[in-house]
Amino acid sequence: MSEGTTNQPAKANRDELNPFHSMAHQFGLAADLLELDEGTRDVLRQPDRELTVSMPVLKDDGSIEVFTGYRVQHNFSRGPCKGGIRFAPDVNLDEVRALAAWMTWKCSVVDIPFGGGKGGVICDPRNLSKGELERLTRRYTASIMDILGPDRDVPAPDMNTNEQTMAWIMDTYSMHVRRTTTAVVTGKPIAIGGSKGRREATGRGVMLVCREAMKKLGRNPEDTRVVVQGCGNVGGVGALLLHREGYKIVSVSDMYGALYNPEGLDMPAVMDYLRDNGKLEGFSGADYIENEGQLELPCELLIPAATENQITSKNADRIQAELVVEGANGPTTPRGQEILDSRGVMVVPDILANAGGVTVSYFEWVQDRMGYFWTEEIVNSRLEQVMVKSFQSVVKMAERHNVNLRTGAYLVAIDRVARVYRMRGVFA
Ligand code: NAD
């Protein structure tokens, strides 16, 4: 059977799909343009610290299971490490390393005073009870305790972790240091130091960069069909906010399948349906189609907001959008980007497009340390200022070097980290 006629997504080769290789490739392109010296390159290429922990956890049936967890701190030149914790059966050190480095560049591109970190625990949360998940989270926190703290490393939710996970981490940390320390994590429930607007912040940031990119392309929301992959915290919220701005959302998907209506979806109704049913299948105002090929549907704006490695050498030539805004981390491989570049597609890269979440996490950390909390209007307006300014600085850098926006974003980010590194000097 030839490619494209099978029901399985065509897979690019393993090297193309390794997120650490993708990150290293992007870093190398920007480092060359910045003419970074070899020493600084070596420092910024490697994570500062990697911790692997084994965690025995008591299961509900009385047995003991040993889990493996990681915390990688890529760089803390500009401030404490910041980055989510992911619970997944296939999480691995290379993935966590790449995600930690992306966090360094993301915090730098929006100019917030954090470095990059990321954590992962190999587990399948669907097979764990709430009690088992709580014991695993608390043991993981205790195991990485020595490198955590509001001035050291501040985790947040990522895939399969949420506000409740952050509450357990905050509590475990606080019990060890003998005082309530809300600023040790972000993405907490509002009642224990979370920030208003945090839950929607990544989707709101995506909406804001879409608006800026559309201005650059001279497009109106009303004439713009949008396809969104993923309907969670990033994709669902992003699609809803874009719908409110007048865009025509023609397709959204979840891990089971996609909705498609070329006339546009009623996004508030889709989100209500998803909340009540847990999946998109069965929604009456659209056709229900397979995920395979969703990214290739006719549209002007494509937002991959689900997972890594979705636009690759195998499908980039069939993408019809003229603008791709990366809600997910690492959805486009370097080869996928080259193909989109050659076809004149504008790509707003992940480290800029989805940085709204970490920006409001920074606001949460600031509010926790002040013990004074802002209104949602203040949070949203400060987020807008950061996103618009960051978009403009990336565009300016890209135009100055005649490169795409991804390389422009890496140039802004790496230059800031490298300058700070040189100012601080090499500790001996
Ligand atoms: P989420 O779990 O809330 O939602 C993920 C969505 O993607 C779900 O609707 C899921 O069903 C769907 N999905 C998963 N695999 C899919 C597939 N193969 N095809 C179609 N849909 C699929 O997760 P999220 O928080 O929205 O995160 C999505 C991405 O955005 C991840 O790459 C994450 O690292 C990144 N991100 C999230 C945040 C944040 O604040 N939540 C911030 C920055 C980046």
pLDDT, one tens digit per residue, over 232-259 is 999 999 999 999 999 999 999 999 999 9
DSSP annotation of 221 reads: G
HSE-CB for 34 with a 13 A CA cutoff: 26
202 CB under 6 A from ligand 1?
yes
253 CB under 6 A from ligand 1?
yes
Query: Helix crossing, 334-342 with 19-34: angle to 10°?
Result: 60
22, pLDDT greater than 90 = no
| CA dist., res. 288 & res. 285, Å (int) | 9
Most informative mutation of 17, 200, 234, 363 for ligand 1 (most atoms within 8 A of CB): 234
Distance 160 CA to ligand 1 centre (A): 9
Question: What's the mean pLDDT in 93-110?
Answer: 96
Question: Under the phi-then-psi rule, with left for phi > 0, alpha for psi from -120 to 50, and beta for the rest, what region is 149?
Answer: left
How many other C-beta atoms lie within 10 A of the C-beta of residue 229? 24
Q: Whose CA is nearest to atom 25 of ligand 1?
A: 233
HSE-CB for 264 with a 13 A CA cutoff: 16
Most informative mutation of 255, 289, 303 for ligand 1 (most atoms within 8 A of CB): 255
Distance 315 CA to ligand 1 centre (A): 20
pTM recorded for the entire structure:
0.94
Query: pLDDT confidence of 5, banded at 50, 70, 90?
Result: very low
Active site residues: 118
Question: What's the mean pLDDT in 368-374?
Answer: 98
229 CB under 6 A from ligand 1?
yes
Cβ neighbours of residue 215 under 8 Å, at least 6 residues apart? none
| CA dist., res. 391 & res. 405, Å (int) | 9
Distance 233 CA to ligand 1 centre (A): 7
| CA dist., res. 43 & res. 63, Å (int) | 43
CA 60 to chain centre: 33
Percent of the residues in the chain that have a pLDDT greater than 70, as a whole number = 97
The 3-state DSSP class for residue 50 equals strand
Quick one: pLDDT at residue 11?
A: 58
The residue among 311, 320, 312 whose CA lies nearest residue 344 is 320
Query: How far, CA to CA in Å, does 141 sit from each of 90, 242, 271?
Result: 20, 37, 33
Query: pLDDT confidence of 12, banded at 50, 70, 90?
Result: low
Quick one: pLDDT at residue 18?
A: 85
Q: Are 401 and 411 in contact (CB under 8 A)?
A: yes
Quick one: pLDDT at residue 427?
A: 87
The mean-pLDDT minimum among 23-27, 76-80, 146-150, 298-302 falls in 23-27
Full set of structural domains in the chain with CATH:
1-46+200-354+405-423 (3.40.50.720), 48-182 (3.40.50.10860)
CA 24 to chain centre: 17
| CA dist., res. 65 & res. 288, Å (int) | 40
Q: What is the mean pLDDT of the chain?
A: 95
Burial 158-171 (b: 16+ CB within 10 A, else e): bbbbebebbbbbbb
Ligand 1 atom with the smallest distance to the CA of 231 is: 9
More confident residue, 22 or 203: 203
309 CB under 6 A from ligand 1?
no
Question: What's the mean pLDDT in 95-106?
Answer: 95
Query: pLDDT confidence of 346, banded at 50, 70, 90?
Result: very high
Ligand 1 atom with the smallest distance to the CA of 99 is: 34
Q: Are 398 and 146 in contact (CB under 8 A)?
A: no
Q: Are 280 and 249 in contact (CB under 8 A)?
A: no
The 3-state DSSP class for residue 65 equals strand
| CA dist., res. 44 & res. 428, Å (int) | 17
Instruction: Go through the chain and tell me how many residues it has.
Output: 428
DSSP annotation of 338 reads: H
C-alpha torsion angle, residues 74, 78, 80, 83 (rounded to 10)? -50
Give the pair of three-digit tokens for residue 387. Answer: 């996103």
Query: pLDDT confidence of 16, banded at 50, 70, 90?
Result: confident
pLDDT tens-digit readout, 291-300? 999 999 999 9
How many other C-beta atoms lie within 10 A of the C-beta of residue 389? 12
Question: What's the mean pLDDT in 80-95?
Answer: 96
The 3-state DSSP class for residue 301 equals strand
Quick one: pLDDT at residue 19?
A: 84
Ligand 1 atom with the smallest distance to the CA of 234 is: 26
306 CB under 6 A from ligand 1?
yes
Distance 2 CA to ligand 1 centre (A): 30
How many other C-beta atoms lie within 10 A of the C-beta of residue 66? 8
Distance 65 CA to ligand 1 centre (A): 28
Quick one: pLDDT at residue 14?
A: 67
In one-letter notation, the amino acid at residue 147 is: I
In one-letter notation, the amino acid at residue 116 is: G
Ligand 1 atom with the smallest distance to the CA of 330 is: 32
Q: Which residue is listed with tokens 């979370």?
A: 194
Q: Are 78 and 116 in contact (CB under 8 A)?
A: no
pLDDT tens-digit readout, 147-177? 999 999 999 999 899 999 999 999 999 999 9
Distance 371 CA to ligand 1 centre (A): 31
354 CB under 6 A from ligand 1?
yes
Ligand 1 atom with the smallest distance to the CA of 354 is: 43
Q: Are 407 and 31 in contact (CB under 8 A)?
A: no
| CA dist., res. 415 & res. 81, Å (int) | 18
Give the pair of three-digit tokens for residue 63. Answer: 């047995």
The 3-state DSSP class for residue 91 equals coil
158 CB under 6 A from ligand 1?
yes
